[in-house]
Amino acid sequence: MNSCGLSEDKAISASKKIHFETSSRPDSVVTFLESNGFTKSYISKLITCRPGLLFADPHKTLKPKLEFFNSRGLSGLDLAKVLSKDPLLLNTSLENQIIPTFAFLKSILHTDSNVVTSLKRSTSVLRQDPGKCLVPNIRVLRDLGVPESNITTLLISQPRVFAINAGRFEEFVEEIKGMGFDPLQYTFVLAIHGLTSMTKSFYLGIKSGCLQEMGLV
């Protein structure tokens, strides 16, 4: 079996999920990724998670997306790291999803560099329709008077927060308001991140403690 440049274990794992008559297409995919700065380790992660990529046409399917990210300042090992953590991006429409959502993020974060920094932390918002989570969650914060600079900082440093279901996000915000956090202060967005990062059981424990301190239970 031709391992397509992967370790034997990784090649065997991928071969169990897909079947191809020759290795010419898989080899061309691996070669293309290597020529764009992807190490064998990152290629292995990509193929292990999304073995169907070995069937992709590197010049029609992969090249346009890599060129777009490169043009925005995300390239080489940084891009390899991002894509290995979220291989679904390579199956996401460039024209209909990635480009317009990147542009929307830039309208809030102002520079390509800020958007790239955000994407290095999480690409979840890039694969979503902005109208489902990102836009309504930002609107909730703006309606409360949260300073734009604090919204921007939160989106750059903790983009996953904005990928939360809009209804659930609003519930979190109401909880934080109920704890006495001031929307005008930076501690408000820190509290949002902290609360949305907790497990449900830990969150309920914290909530119970806060209510007891306020004499409400």
* The domain boundary residue, chosen from 91, 108, 137: 91
- Domain shared by 64 and 145, yes or no: no
Does pTM surpass 0.85? no
- Domain shared by 119 and 189, yes or no: yes
Average pLDDT over residues 184-192: 95
Q: At 15, is the pLDDT very low, low, confident or very high (cuts 50, 70, 90)?
A: very low
- Domain shared by 97 and 109, yes or no: yes
Confidence check: pLDDT of 29 > 50: yes
- Domain shared by 53 and 99, yes or no: no
Q: At 19, is the pLDDT very low, low, confident or very high (cuts 50, 70, 90)?
A: low
- Domain shared by 118 and 204, yes or no: yes
- Domain shared by 12 and 78, yes or no: yes
- Domain shared by 143 and 167, yes or no: yes
CA distance 217 to 208: 8
Q: Tell me what pLDDT residue 1 has.
A: 40
User: What phi, psi does 201 have (nearest 5°)?
Assistant: -65, -40
Structural domain count of the chain: 2
For residue 64, what are the contacts with CB-CB under 8 A and spacing of at least 6?
94
Domain residues for 40?
A: 1-91
* The domain boundary residue, chosen from 45, 62, 91: 91
Confidence check: pLDDT of 209 > 70: no
Question: Measured at the alpha carbon of residue 132, what is the angle toward residues 129 and 135, in degrees to the nearest 5?
Answer: 90
Question: Measured at the alpha carbon of residue 102, what is the angle toward residues 97 and 105, in degrees to the nearest 5?
Answer: 125
CA distance 196 to 111: 26
